[in-house]
Structure 1
Amino acid sequence: MQVKPTKSQFVAVASIAAELSAVMEVAKEISLAAANAKAIAFRAGEKAKGFQPITDFINELAKDTIELVNNINDYAFLLYRLTVDEQRLAEACGRFEQVERLAQGARYAASLAGPLLQARHKAQAARREFTIHVSELLVKLAEVMHPARAARVIAANSRIEASQAGEYLQSLQAVAESVDNAAQIINDKVHRCRSALTVINLAD
């Protein structure tokens, strides 16, 4: 008998998609913060000379995160599709089993065995594929944590460089703070995604 996808599995997959969408928006905010910082550093000139290359790093981290999340979104969509497929196959198995019980003793009852077995095999294959992609998605989510951690380090360095920027100090420190906050949000949301996937794995 094939394990039927639970409501919690659907909820987990949907919540992952929502969290990833939020990560994408935050990554875009980091990219915007980098552009703002670049403009401020340009106006500050020599006072913010050390800050200028940092803005390039921030922008690259944002691009890396967006690229990773785009890739991860494909996995999340695939998990949702596999969950729906598994649900349909499990329901098909249930209907076949019900008909098989009702048809016991009937002349052509044995003809149901083949389609039922085929439906069970397809359901098991969908479960195996789902499990494989859950593992792959966990790896991809771990990769997103790297730019988030790097962004926090860069934010700390940004504060140091901003302290040399005279009247532009507060503006550049605000940029560093926004990058740090964004990186923390990404970290938290990715952690939630990983927790949801772990729950799915444990449910298996």
Structure 2
Amino acid sequence: MQVNQAKSQFVAVASIAAELSAVMEVAKEISLAAANAKAIAFRAGEKAKGFQPITDFINELAKDTIELVNNINEYAFHLYRLTVNEQRMTEACKRFEKVEQLAAGARYADSLTTSLQEVRLRTQLCHREFILQVSELLIKLADVMHPARAARVIAANSRIEASQAGEYLQSLQAVAESVDNAAQIINDKVHKCRSALTIINVAE
């Protein structure tokens, strides 16, 4: 593993962890918005009858997003461990190679060859697993985009239903705006995660 490559992997994994943390917070905000909307719709009664089932959809989307992000976090943590392991094994390879050079011509110098080959093989296997996990994570991140897109559609429908809620119009429209904004933030954060992973793939 080259120094620049190792650095890019660490930066990418750290970036993903930060972005996913932000997505989780936004998903929790959506869940809170759903609870607030449900309370407002209940008070509005018949005026917001069409809005009430929408709050359930919003809450389900928030739960789905949180579940997906929790799952993705496990992949991100695994990528971090793989990066650390690969870096350690790369350093071990360098030390073995240096010792092998210094021991050239010594009586038992050949005994180092097997150990060096084993460390090289383990490093290669670790890197292959890293690349495989990157591909899996890209797929998982694509899954998060589905609830984000659905949230934007629901936000649009929420505005329509809110327009019929009389004095509760502004309160319900605020909910719709918060869901729409949250969906956009999630979309942006996930896009940043995917970009970070794509850069690693291109660098391979």
Q: TM-score range by the shorter chain?
A: over 0.9
The superposition leaves residues 154-191 of structure 1 with CA deviations (integer Å, 9 ceiling, x where unpaired) of 00000000000000000000000000000000000000
Correspondence 1:32 to 2:32:
yes
Corresponding position of 2:202: 202
- Which residue of 1 is the match for residue 61 of structure 2? 61
Task: Give unmatched runs, 5+ long, in structure 1.
Answer: none
The separation in 1 between residues aligned to 2:185 and 2:2, in whole angstroms, is: 35
Which letter maps to 1:138? L
Q: Shift of residue 6 of structure 1?
A: 2.0
| CA-CA distance at 1:111 after TM superposition | 0.7
Q: Which runs of structure 2 are paired with 1:77-96 in the superposition (5 Å)?
A: 77-96=77-96
Q: TM-score, normalised by structure 2?
A: 0.98
Q: How many residues of Structure 1 are paired with residues of Structure 2 in the alignment?
A: 203
Q: CA deviation at 1:54?
A: 0.3
When normalised by structure 1's length, the TM-score is 0.98
Q: Distance in 1 between matches of 2:196 and 2:53?
A: 37
CA distance in 2, matches of 1:202, 1:163: 48
Q: Which amino acid aligns with 1:26?
A: V
The gaps in structure 2 that reach 5 residues or longer are none
Match of residue 143 from structure 2: 143
CA RMSD across the alignment: 0.8
1:18 maps to 2:18: yes
What percentage of aligned pairs have identical amino acids? Answer: 82
Separation in structure 2 between the aligned mates of residue 70 and residue 6 of structure 1, nearest angstrom: 25
Counterparts of residues 103-114 of structure 1 (less than 5 Å) = 103-114=103-114
Distance in 2 (alpha carbons) for counterparts of 1:155 and 1:8? 37
Where 1:109 maps in the other structure, the secondary structure is coil
